[in-house]
Amino acid sequence: MQSTAIKKSDTLGAFASGLCLIHCIATPFIFIAQTCSASCCSGAPTWWSMMDYLFLGISFFAIYWSVQNTSKNWIKYALWTSWSVLLFVILNEKIELIHLAEQAIYTPALALVGFHLYNRKYCQCAEDGCCATA
């Protein structure tokens, strides 16, 4: 018998990716307000920056569980590719390997939300043995 988290992995993944997206959208506005109110701190607080990794971790497990129960092989690749691009964008933001626009993070985050919702609606196995194999 599967746990509730595994059964609801697409909902969890879409929710975590959506929160990640909100986090990314809110960041510039929070720091504009902070800069206007106090000029003592120029960087993001550590706890705020670490939220990126929290969302990546939750998304990793949500994708892992989702691909175990999907009926479509292509969705497995779509979810893992979107997560990998999101990981690259976040790591690149931290180490500044190459210059990317700040908005680059929105595409993989939105893709994860979309693929999880699509998988939830159209790709779930109704009975054992229907899932596509890798």
CA distances from 7 to 68, 91, 134 (A): 10, 30, 19
What pLDDT, on a 0 to 100 scale, did the predictor assign at position 45?
67
Give yes or no for a contact between 106 and 90, defined as CB atoms under 8 angstroms apart. Answer: no
User: How many residues does this entry show for the chain?
Assistant: 134
Q: If the chain, 134 residues long, is cut into consecutive pieces of 10 residues, what is the mean pLDDT of each piece? A: 56 73 67 51 66 85 86 91 93 88 86 86 62 46
Query: What's the predicted TM-score (pTM) here?
Result: 0.68
At 79 the pLDDT is 92
- Whether the CB-CB separation of 86 and 109 falls below 8 Å is answered with yes
- Which pLDDT does position 41 carry in this prediction? 53
Tens-digit pLDDT profile for residues 11-43: 777 777 777 677 666 666 665 555 544 545 555
